[in-house]
Amino acid sequence: MMNIATYPKGSRVVLQGNEAIARGALEAGVQFCAGYPGTPSTEIIGTLAAVAKDADIHVEWSINEKVATEVAGAAAFAGLRSLAAMKNAGLYVAVDYLLHLNLSTLGDRRGGLVIVVCDDPQAHSSGDETDTRWIAKMADVPLLEPSNIQEAKDMVIWAFELSEKLGCYSFVRSYTRLSHSRSSIILGNIPKRKRKAMFDTSKCYSPYIATPKHAALHEQLTKVQEIFESSPFNSYTGPEQPELLIICSGNGESCSVDAIDILNLTELVGVLKLGTLWPFPKELVKKHLTRAGKILVVEEVDPFVEIHVKEAAADLSAVGKPPEIYGKGSGHMDSYGEVTPDAVIEALSRIFKLEYQARDSNYEQKAQDAKGLVIGRGAIWCAGCPHRASFFALSDAIKRDRRQGMVIGDIGCYVLDVFPYGTHRTNVLHCMGSGAGQACGFGELGRFGFEQPVIGICGDATFFHASVPALMNAVHNKANMTLLILDNSTTAMTGFQPHPGTEHTATRDAATVIDTEALCRTLGCRVEVRDPFDIKETSATLRELMRDENGVKVLILRRKCELVRMRQEQTYPYKIWVDHEKCKGDKCGYCYKVFQCPGISWDKESDKAQLQAAVCVGCGVCADICPTRAIIKEDIG
């Protein structure tokens, strides 16, 4: 079967945005790719890893985004075209390196280095909706933002060329609606030529001395701006002299096109789509600003284009009447969340004073009346998920311990604990590795009278990503804390990527496995390992560790992610049924109200617990926690 590395030039193929970015890198002759998984960016490295052998390239899941960027940077110094991919939150892990790499340049032998960052406007699967474009401005490096999937592929190729030409890395900014959409695009050629890696040791590249290098970087950026002023990735469509000009980027383009079409404004509104966002193509924008008296800026998430449009308009104010600029600043667009066709329809309707109704009043009324029936559907751990058992045991242990033990969460499927239907056992939660880091801090407050037990959480991938330095810090500074490592043997949240504790690399080669348990012991931690499905034993161990005040304790709760187990074993461990004689129904409700597994519910008619046949995976934990032993688990022979 054909794949992303073997489709020939000229083929028309349906690709996801992230796959198109991967294909673009291959067409640019990329040889070295690294990243850390994070929605919506994961499929870029995932796709490249799957074809690494066909394409004869190196692809790795690195331990975190900073290391991913550093290894890709090294390959660029050695002359290879290299790519690093991550989500917005990951970029902030890598920023220290990137804000110094810009000053050093990539050297004389350089291969192009492209950093692809996928933002998540509306935070569909993130803890924030921050806008990457500011980092490009801060770093004084070029940033391109595709508006569609064809552009995603083509811009990646151009980003490599820009990087090589200018001696600095370049950013391609994607976003959820691009990364996770599919459309057919036309493919180009994948070059056969491979470069040999070599470093000229007569040279030294560093940010020192920073100020003159900063000045040189600015000079380079001026050259990029000249290129951007005439780039075909910036284009205008519409009447010669529209009444209103929309200036947009990314997802804003297709939303604007739909809105103009729906409101029948084709004769009155033009669209200037910008793809080269930093350095800002100011002269080009100035030229277009003279087309119309009214401007609407449409972009995700912050008013980045908008403030630069305003700057360009200010330059024009000396020569004539400046246009009226609508957008986030004027309150016509939101400066949070995702841009939708409806948001643009609303803004245009306000400006043109139009009455817009998506559907007739009779239907609208019926739709509004139906609202009461549409209850929410909260996310929660899958049936059979080890985390449900872990949090159940954790709650039990803290309750029995009676000292208001606190829990510091982290990023992984266990974030669901703070979602509306979680157990809310987690007290504080922020970013990758901050479970261990903040637990360390709380664990150092003893001399200020802090007496509560402190439990930090991380997953097996999170442990490696950013928890290890925090754990070392805790050991070194004698923090009193327990680190709970919820080890489901994979990076589950993003689709089962390997990490330094798993047996395979991204390209399915045998890996050197780092033993979490041995590492923690070497650091001087007391380490215990339990099966979270053994709730009694897990709770008892936790209570004992909370009482042990001698430094840092680690409890590894090890059990495979149920989705992975099911893929591998294709069978359920137990057949589960409810003994109606023993079940006390809603008077108890322990299994569905407290344990809250989606595989079990309450049957109103019989007033008994009821298995959900389409959901239960037969893990049997509900049978263990049932106070009346009414849930029966039978071995499947």
Asked if residue 204 binds other proteins (CB under 8 A), the reply is no
Taking the complex as a whole, how short is the minimal distance between the CB of residue 542 and other proteins, in angstroms? Answer: 24
Contact status: 102 vs other proteins (CB under 8 A) = no
The CB-of-6 to other proteins minimum distance in angstroms stands at 15
Rounded CA-CA distance 268/20 in Å is 34
Minimal distance in Å, beta carbon 196 to other proteins? 38
Taking each helix axis from N to C end, the angle separating 17-27 and 149-166, rounded to the nearest 10 degrees, works out to: 40
Q: How large is the C-alpha radius of gyration of the chain?
A: 28
Name the residue nearer to other proteins (CB basis): 196 or 377: 377
Q: Which is nearer to other proteins, 184 or 290 (CB)?
A: 184
Sorted by sequence, the CB contacts under 8 Å of residue 263 that are 6+ apart come out as 345, 348, 349, 352, 354, 356
Pair 557, 486: CB distance under 8 Å: yes
Interaction of residue 181 with other proteins, rule CB under 8 A? yes
**Contacts of 523 by beta carbon, 8 Å cutoff, 6+ apart:** 471, 472, 475, 552
* Of positions 569, 586, 607, 634, contacts other proteins by CB under 8 A: 586
Binding positions for other proteins, 110-169, rule CB under 8 A: 124-125, 148, 150
CB of 90 to other proteins, least distance (A): 17
Q: Report, in Å, the least distance between residue 612 CB and other proteins.
A: 7
Minimum Å gap between C-beta 561 and other proteins is: 11
DSSP-H helix ranges across 188-276: 210-229, 252-262
**At a CB cut-off of 8 Å and minimum separation 6, what does 199 contact?**
77, 78, 107, 109
Closer residue to other proteins in complex, CB, 97/421: 421
Residues 384-413 that bind other proteins (CB under 8 A): 413
Indicate the residue among 228 and 392 with the shorter CB distance to other proteins: 392
Q: What's the maximum distance between 2 C-alpha atoms anywhere in the chain? A: 88
Query: Which of 11, 184, 404, 571 forms a contact with other proteins (CB under 8 A)?
Result: 184
Q: Which is nearer to other proteins, 413 or 461 (CB)?
A: 413
Nearer to other proteins among residue 2 and residue 510 (C-beta): 2
Q: Which of 255, 406, 429, 576 binds other proteins (CB under 8 A)?
A: 255
Based on the shown chain and the rule CB under 8 A, indicate whether residue 8 belongs to the binding site for other proteins. Answer: no
Q: At what angle do helices 304-316 and 282-289 cross, to 10 degrees?
A: 70
Q: How far apart are CA 179 and CA 162, in angstroms?
A: 22
Site for other proteins (CB under 8 A): which residue of 235, 522, 612, 628?
A: 612
Among 563, 622, 623, 630, binds other proteins (CB under 8 A): 563
Using the CB atoms, write b or e for 196-207: b if 16+ within 10 Å: ebeeeeeeebee
Distance, CA of 600 to CA of 592 (rounded, Å):
6
On whether the CB atoms of residues 393 and 484 are closer than 8 A, the answer is: no
Give every CB contact of residue 507 below 8 A, 6+ residues apart in sequence: 49, 52, 53, 59, 60
d(CA 558, CA 515): 13
Question: Site residues for other proteins, window 466-495 (CB under 8 A)?
Answer: 493
Q: Rule CB under 8 A: choose which of 3, 6, 14, 547 binds other proteins.
A: 14
Contact between 342 and other proteins by CB under 8 A: the answer reads yes
**Which SS3 state, helix, strand or coil, does residue 249 take?**
strand
In whole angstroms, how close is the CB of 359 to other proteins at the nearest point? 4
Sole window of 182-190, 240-248, 460-468, 623-631 interacting with other proteins (rule: CB under 8 A) = 182-190
- Which range of residues in 130-138, 154-162, 253-261, 399-407 is near other proteins by CB under 8 A? 253-261
Q: Give 39 or 69: the residue with its C-beta nearer to other proteins.
A: 39
Cβ-contact 38, 86 below 8 angstroms: yes
| Count of residues of this chain found to bind other proteins when the rule CB under 8 A is applied | 65
Q: DSSP for 44-63, please give it.
A: HHHHHHHTHHHHT-EEEE-S
Per-residue tokens: 565: 């187990």
**Tokens linked to 278:** 């930093």
Q: Please identify, using beta-carbon distances, which residue of 66 and 180 lies nearer to other proteins.
A: 180
* Contact yes or no for 32/45 (Cβ under 8 A): no
10 Å Cβ neighbour count for 192? 7
**Measured from the CB atom, is 24 or 453 closer to other proteins?**
24
Query: Please, which residue, 6 or 230, has the CB nearer to other proteins?
Result: 6
- Binders in 356-385 for other proteins, by CB under 8 A: 358-360, 363, 366-367, 370-371, 373-382
Region from 78-86, 174-182, 469-477, 483-491 binding other proteins, contact rule CB under 8 A: 174-182
Among residue numbers 30 through 69, which ones bind other proteins (CB under 8 A)? 39
Q: Cα separation of 618 and 595, whole Å?
A: 15
Rounded Cα distance, 447 and 73, in Å: 44
Q: What is the nearest approach in angstroms of other proteins to the Cβ of residue 93?
A: 21
Residues that bind other proteins (CB under 8 A): 1, 12, 14, 39, 124-125, 148, 150, 177, 180-184, 251, 253-255, 257-259, 262, 340-342, 345, 358-360, 363, 366-367, 370-371, 373-382, 413, 415-416, 419, 421, 493, 563, 586, 589, 592-593, 596-598, 600-602, 612-615
